[in-house]
Amino acid sequence: METPVAGDHPYDRLTPDLIMSAVESTGVLCDGRILALNSYENRVYQVGIEESEPVIAKFYRPERWSDGQILEEHTFCHELVKRELPVVAPLALGDEGRTLEAYQGFRFAVYPRRGGRAPEMDDLDTLYTLGKTLGRLHRVGAVRPFSERPTLTVESFGEDSIAFIREHFIPADLATAYGSLTGDLMMAIRELFSTLTSTDYIRVHGDCHGGNILWRDEQPNFVDFDDARMAPAVQDIWMLLSGDRDRQQRQLSEILDGYSEFNDFEPRQLRWIEGFRALRLMYFSAWLARRWRDPAFPRAFPWFNTARYWGDHILELREQLSAIQEPPLAWL
Residues annotated as catalytic (active site), given as ranges? 207, 224
**Ramachandran assignment for 213, one of left (phi > 0), alpha (psi -120 to 50 degrees), beta (any other):** beta
Rounded Cα distance, 283 and 153, in Å: 11
Rounded Cα distance, 54 and 24, in Å: 13
Contact 253, 241 (CB under 8 A): no
Using CA atoms, how far residue 97 sits from 26, 42, 78, 243, in Å, is: 11, 23, 12, 43
Rounded Cα distance, 62 and 41, in Å: 10
Q: Which of 189, 192, 174 is nearest to 315 (CA)?
A: 174
